Amino acid sequence: MIRLLLGGGGQYEIEPRRSSLIDAIKNFLGRSIDEVLFIPYALKDYDGYVAKMVELGIDAGYGFKSIHTFKDAHDAIRKAQAIYVGGGNTFRLLHELYKKDLLPLIRDKIHGGTPYIGVSAGANIACPTIKTTNDMPIVEPPSFTALSVIPFQINPHYTDPDPDSTHQGETREKRIQEFLEMNDETVLGMREGSIILIEGSSIYLSGTAGVRVFKKGQEPEEYGPGDRLDFLCSAISRTTGRLSLRLK
């Protein structure tokens, strides 16, 4: 059974978002986990990233070892009790995962039941693709295809349109609607502070903010902390816990 904790971002520096995330991590991992393998590839300064996470308490009291400190990254993935992928630039993150050939290993670990935590960019790569990231493509990965362990797309840091704004660029909602003009996957707009917990084909919404669900040809729908979103995971097999994507 797959077990995922995915955060909408903006949860490291701001209270009570940080406390909510830390509590969610503790409840998610429980007492059977001693050490978490952290993947910092979404930022350039790996050591600084890890130090900041520990300083802010995002390690939640678990042993926090970064993959870049291991001689063999593949072996680190294989032996990981839990995996945490942090935020930053999604294109940089996916590029490094392809470069190091880690996507298949991480995917297999998730399907094998290893807990996975992803925030912002780390949540984006759990999706079929990274097409709904907000980030600038500062580097070109071999493909937009990501882990594909969930059957829907995530747009982290989702912001609602400001009716009083004079900004002439596209709103986040407009960008998602443009995605749906060319793609069929449902998009989950995760506001900062929102958290989703996926256990097999069940999905729970928690954290300090709600989410907006976008489906092709339909009006967006609102959900708040405490709501169930099982319908988003309908394509995950209840017997194997694996995602079955319909080929287009």
Structurally, how many domains does the chain consist of?
1
User: Phi-psi bin for 166: left (phi > 0), alpha (psi -120 to 50), beta?
Assistant: alpha
* Whole-number Cα distances in Å, 136 to 131, 143, 152: 11, 15, 21
Task: Please check whether residue 61 lies inside any domain of the structure.
Answer: yes
- Tell me: cis bond preceding 16? Omega within 30 of 0 counts: yes
Query: Does residue 89 form part of some domain?
Result: yes
The pLDDT of residue 166: 76
Q: Give percent above pLDDT 90 in the chain.
A: 86
Residue 247 pLDDT: 28
The answer, yes or no, to whether residue 238 has pLDDT greater than 70, is no
- Please tell me the pTM assigned to this model: 0.93
- Residues ≥6 apart with Cβ < 8 Å to 234: 151, 201
Range of the domain at 38: 3-233
User: Which residues fall within 8 angstroms of residue 66, CB to CB, at 6 or more apart?
Assistant: 37, 38, 39, 40, 46, 47, 49, 50
* pLDDT tens, position by position, 132-171: 999 999 999 999 999 999 999 999 999 998 777 777 778 9
Burial of 201 (0-12, 13-18, 19+ CB in 10 A): buried
- Residue 157 is among the residues annotated as catalytic for this protein: yes
The answer to the question of residue 150 being in a domain is yes
For residue 199, pLDDT beyond 60:
yes
Find all residues with CB under 8 Å of 58, minimum gap 6, and list them: 12, 18, 21, 22, 25
Quick check: 185 and 152 in contact, CB under 8 A? yes
Task: Decide if 243 is inside a domain.
Answer: no
Active site residue 234: no
Confidence class for position 242, pLDDT limits 50, 70, 90: low
Among 134, 137, 170, smallest CA distance to 154 is for: 134
The model's pLDDT over 18-59, given as tens digits with 9 standing for 90+, comes to: 999 999 999 999 999 999 999 999 999 999 999 999 999 999
245 pLDDT band, cuts 50/70/90, is very low
Check if 111 is active-site. no
From 20, 66, 135, 194, active-site residue: 135
In a domain, 238, yes or no: no
Averaged pLDDT score across all residues of the chain:
93
Instruction: Tell me the CATH number at 172.
Output: 3.40.50.880
Q: Is residue 229 part of a domain?
A: yes
Domain contains 220: yes
List the catalytic residue out of 20, 157, 201, 206: 157
Cα gap 122→89, rounded to integer Å: 9
Percent residues over pLDDT 70 in the chain: 94
20, 120, 194, 201: the catalytic one is 120
Whether 37 is covered by a domain: the verdict is: yes
